[in-house]
A and B are shown apart, each in its own frame.
Chain A
Amino acid sequence: MNNRKQILTADEMRRALVRIAHEIDERNGGLQDVILVGIPRRGVPLAERIAATIADFEGIQLPVGQLDITLYRDDLRRRGMAEVGKTSIQHDLTGKVVVLVDDVLYTGRTVRAALDAIADLGRPDCIQLAVLIDRGHRELPIRADFVGKNVPTSRSEHVMVHLREIDAEDEVLIERTKAEQ
């Protein structure tokens, strides 16, 4: 167990999400036409929490959707078939401001797939990206607009986001693989 280290406590995670919610509000004054879209699995509860926070301080309930990107991945051939999740976005995205929400930003390939998937669903005026953890090592020209915490990592490390909706508790851990010890 000593190769795991907690990098975000439940309280720190809550504060980071509150700050992201305020930044989304500030950037998109009035929050008109903003729709939050979570990327399964953990992006979806995060998007719901941000929406709930915004509802608390602004009294506006933003729509929340979920976007499964499995069918848009560029590594299907390399890694083989992955289980396809559900996409559910009740609103027409054309003319909207889409805020994509995911737990960890790493190579950027998931976001690239999400951008392609959104393009097939509509033509938003603008797409922004919110992530709880940015761990670096981008392989594509992609950056996040809203970041909970920047975490310098090595490629051999593993970042695990635990959320109470899925994992029973809120925390972010970093795990070093055996080779690094």
Chain B
Amino acid sequence: MIDLDALQAEEIEEILVTTDSMKEVLSREIKQVPALRGRTVVNMFFEESTRTRISFELAARALSANIVNFTARGSSVEKGESLIDTVRTLQALGADMVVIRHSQSGAPYLVAQHFHGSVINAGDGRHAHPSQALLDLFTIRERLGQLCDLKVVIVGDILHSRVARSDIWGLTRMGAQVTLCAPPTLLGPSHYWLATWPNIQISHHLDTALEGADVVMALRIQKERMQGGLLPSLREYSRHYGLTPERLARLGQHTLIMHPGPMNEGVEISPEAATAPNSVIEAQVTNGVAVRMALLYRLGG
């Protein structure tokens, strides 16, 4: 499971149905089933991430798998061990599945070539973050009952975002209408996007893009983008592309507000928008565990 580009709509549908069953397990008093008893999952995080790591960890435990956390800091990686050697070592230690987060796009493909079990991409560089995209799809469908024909606006640092890329794959496969909205410096040339996804819309003007939107997904603005000269100031970004209280008021009550986290409140999203009744940001986090259970089960069962 490295990205959603390899999945057909029916396969995505099956994962979402399994996720629904997993959500029922998580609603029980005893949130654990024996499906992956005796399996060993290694969480390999070469990049900091609390939310995704804990989410995979809880998912593996809910399926009774053994899970071991591996972080690059303080490990053999600091002693110069290569990614391939690390993977071979984990294989020799008996790992059945690997969950990998890496700052280099494509690192999970390399791991998959050298590991005999299943590999789940938990985010690689700018490339992909499939479990995040699947939890976004699940959350939208849970709230709005469908994905097909919905208008979804993704706003923010799309150029550097693996979440955006996986979301576009998943949303377009499921028949949603995707609009990308960002300043030109955070989007790059339109033809770059249209070459892969000819049916998506591209906009540099958020208020226009939001007209008739069923879902608006704000992406995190990383502070280092300022130093790279891609943004004049965070305040200016917020005024043009932030989910401000004024824009929130103009959105319909039914328009879902989403964010993959962690949020920069006051930059890409205002505290009012983050906690509005139509915000599903917390539901995204909750559903993340169920989605990851579905992925672990389907790959390791």
Contact = CB atoms under 8 A, between A and B. Distances in A.
Contacts of B32: 120
A87 interface: yes
Interface in A62-115: 68, 70-73, 76, 80-88
A125 interface: no
Among A71, A85, A88, A116, residue most surrounded by chain B Cβ atoms (within 10 Å): A71
Nearest to B38: A77
Contacts of A116: 34
Contacts of A80: 301
Contact of B24 (A81, A83, A88): A88
A121 interface: yes
Among B20, B21, B30, B298, residue most surrounded by chain A Cβ atoms (within 10 Å): B21
A29 to B, nearest CB: 30
B297 interface: yes
Contacts of B63: 71
Nearest to B36: A76
A81 B301 contact: yes
A121 B33 CA distance: 11
Interface string B220-238: 0000000000000000000
B43 to A, nearest CB: 21
B286 interface: no
Contact of B21 (A72, A81, A85): A85
Given A83-B18, A87-B21, A120 B301 contact: no
Contacts of B14: 83
Interface size class of A (residues with CB under 8 A): 10 to 19
Contacts, number: 45
Given A81-B297, A84-B297, A76 B35 contact: yes
A44 to B, nearest CB: 15
A160 B33 CA distance: 29
A121 B28 contact: yes
Interface in A32-86: 68, 70-73, 76, 80-86
Contact of B34 (A71, A82, A85, A88): A71
B25 interface: yes
Closest 7 CB pairs of A and B: A81-B301, A71-B33, A71-B35, A84-B21, A120-B30, A76-B301, A84-B18
Interface of B: 14, 17-18, 20-22, 24-25, 28-30, 32-35, 63, 297-298, 301
Interface of A: 68, 70-73, 76, 80-88, 116-117, 120-121
15 contacts: A71-B33, A71-B34, A71-B63, A72-B35, A73-B35, A80-B301, A82-B301, A83-B17, A84-B297, A86-B20, A87-B25, A88-B24, A120-B28, A120-B32, A121-B28
Given A81-B301, A85-B21, 16 more contacts: A70-B35, A71-B21, A71-B25, A71-B33, A72-B35, A73-B35, A76-B301, A81-B298, A84-B17, A84-B22, A86-B20, A86-B21, A86-B24, A87-B21, A88-B24, A117-B33
